[in-house]
């Protein structure tokens, strides 16, 4: 599909002019992002507030050559001083734009050299990410998985958290995507599963499973299965105490190699869960061949299950399908008792989400299990 880039740019620039004219002029070309020059009478705070609101409208579909185009808009803003050259001004505005692109929650960023430069350097440098592994800024929290029939916590998903001011606007998902690009993901992944296995050993007598998310890059690394099992066996962990969660996107890669690795792990007592089930069509084609123990229904299907009959029907179908295949079904994103009750009515096995608990520190997870054990006695 051929699109007239200049025409698209003109449409968007006109939209911006409608919002801000006459105080702001919009300049653009094919290679560059938009550069907005505002008069001194325009306050940066007001510009950020207005632009953030109007970006939602800019992201509505635009019709070009009978095609509906959906855009994602991000903006970087820089205050220009008398001693600032145009080259430096534009450079720093691009830094702000790059930082905005990294942020999951904010569409507009005002340049702050002290924070942004150090954050981008940290974010993009392998050594900086690896240094965090040995600092008090890197943590593994555990979100409980609750059995509806057993009425107890039967597992935890290990989730990474980092506490550093520079990265407060960057999501964990985006952080891991950067680690995959700069090569830090292998060391990070190893640190995560080693710490999580050590925690699994601490709570081994509680009879719960620790689930780990594994990056495709990490899984496809030569010798991954052997290295993973070496740590697992060195701790003498019981079978089914560790679970690996893979995403559907794995199936689009080296399918045969992935199956071989998963079979090795499963044959050594590691559980395998298929995460984000239903988000990619490919998994339906391979579901009967995957050596998995459970599927996880993505939170997107649960979000409006109370009001959307289609969401409810889809969740019911996936729960029934998992049971027909003799698989457990874990439903993510359960945030209230009403959602939990519907999922229970539909036959769901295990729920995970804020209704049960957010991800919690290891010591809190131990306390949670102790409280549950007291209730059962």
What pLDDT does residue 350 have? 96
Q: Which domain-ending residue is among 61, 85, 111?
A: 111
Domain membership of residue 118 (yes or no) is: no
What pLDDT does residue 110 have? 75
Same domain? 183 vs 251: yes
Q: Are the CB atoms for 333 and 298 separated by under 8 Å?
A: yes
Report the distance separating Cα 213 and Cα 243, nearest Å. 9
Name the residue range of residue 167's domain: 123-376
What pLDDT does residue 42 have? 58
What pLDDT does residue 114 have? 58
Domain membership of residue 116 (yes or no) is: no
What pLDDT does residue 221 have? 85
Same domain? 88 vs 127: no
Domain membership of residue 189 (yes or no) is: yes
Domain membership of residue 117 (yes or no) is: no
Same domain? 165 vs 312: yes
Q: Are the CB atoms for 89 and 81 separated by under 8 Å?
A: no
Distances (CA, A) of 245 to 157, 242, 249: 9, 10, 12
Same domain? 103 vs 203: no
Q: Which domain-ending residue is among 111, 144, 160?
A: 111
What CATH number is given to the structural domain containing 105?
Answer: 3.30.70.270
Domain membership of residue 256 (yes or no) is: yes
What pLDDT does residue 22 have? 46
Residues of the chain with pLDDT under 50: 1-8, 17, 19-32, 34-35, 376-377
Q: What is the enclosing helix (H) or strand (E) of 376?
A: helix 362-376
Domain membership of residue 39 (yes or no) is: yes
What pLDDT does residue 21 have? 44
Same domain? 153 vs 66: no
What pLDDT does residue 168 have? 63
Same domain? 305 vs 216: yes
Same domain? 186 vs 223: yes
What pLDDT does residue 376 have? 47
Same domain? 195 vs 300: yes
DSSP 8-state symbol, 302: T
Tens of pLDDT, residues 163-201: 766 566 566 776 777 777 777 788 888 989 999 999 999
Same domain? 158 vs 212: yes
Q: Which domain-ending residue is among 64, 83, 111?
A: 111
Same domain? 99 vs 136: no
CA-wise closest residue to 356 among 373, 369, 337: 337
What pLDDT does residue 273 have? 93
Same domain? 45 vs 130: no
Same domain? 177 vs 281: yes
Tens of pLDDT, residues 38-67: 555 556 677 677 777 777 766 777 666 666
Q: Tally the domains of the chain.
A: 2
What CATH number is given to the structural domain containing 299?
Answer: 3.20.20.450
């Amino acid at each position: 599909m051929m699109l007239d880039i200049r025409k698209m740019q003109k449409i968007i620039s006109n939209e911006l002019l409608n919002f801000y004219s006459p105080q702001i002029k919009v300049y653009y070309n094919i290679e560059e992002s938009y550069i907005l020059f505002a008069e001194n009478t325009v306050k940066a705070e007001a510009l950020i507030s207005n632009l953030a609101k109007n970006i939602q409208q800019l992201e509505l579909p635009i019709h070009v050559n009978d095609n509906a185009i959906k855009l994602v808009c991000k903006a970087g803003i820089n205050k220009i001083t008398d001693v600032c050259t145009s080259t430096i001004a534009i450079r720093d505005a691009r830094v702000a734009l790059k930082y905005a692109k990294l942020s999951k929650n904010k569409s507009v960023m005002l340049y702050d050299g002290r924070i942004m430069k150090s954050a981008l350097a940290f974010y993009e440098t392998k050594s900086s990410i690896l240094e965090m592994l040995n600092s008090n800024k890197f943590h593994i929290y555990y979100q409980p998985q609750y059995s509806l029939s057993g009425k107890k916590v039967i597992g935890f998903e290990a989730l990474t958290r980092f506490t550093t001011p520079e990265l407060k606007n960057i999501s964990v998902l985006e952080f891991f995507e950067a680690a995959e690009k700069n090569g830090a993901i292998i060391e990070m992944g190893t640190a995560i599963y080693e710490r999580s296995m050590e925690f699994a050993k601490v709570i081994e007598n509680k009879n719960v499973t620790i689930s780990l998310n594994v990056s495709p890059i990490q899984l496809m690394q030569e010798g991954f299965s052997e290295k993973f099992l070496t740590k697992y066996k060195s701790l003498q962990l019981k079978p089914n105490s560790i679970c690996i969660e893979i995403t559907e996107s794995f199936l689009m890669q080296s399918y045969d190699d992935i199956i071989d690795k998963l079979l090795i792990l499963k044959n050594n007592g590691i559980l395998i869960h298929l995460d984000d089930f239903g988000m990619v069509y490919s998994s339906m084609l391979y579901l009967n061949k995957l050596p998995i123990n459970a599927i996880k229904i993505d939170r997107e299907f649960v979000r409006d299950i109370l009001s959307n009959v289609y969401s409810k029907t889809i969740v019911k179908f996936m729960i029934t399908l998992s049971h027909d295949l003799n698989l457990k079904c874990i439903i993510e994103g359960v945030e209230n008792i009403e959602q939990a009750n519907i999922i229970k009515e539909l036959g769901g096995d295990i729920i995970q989400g804020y209704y049960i608990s957010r991800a919690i520190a290891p010591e809190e997870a131990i306390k949670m299990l102790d409280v549950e054990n007291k209730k059962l006695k």
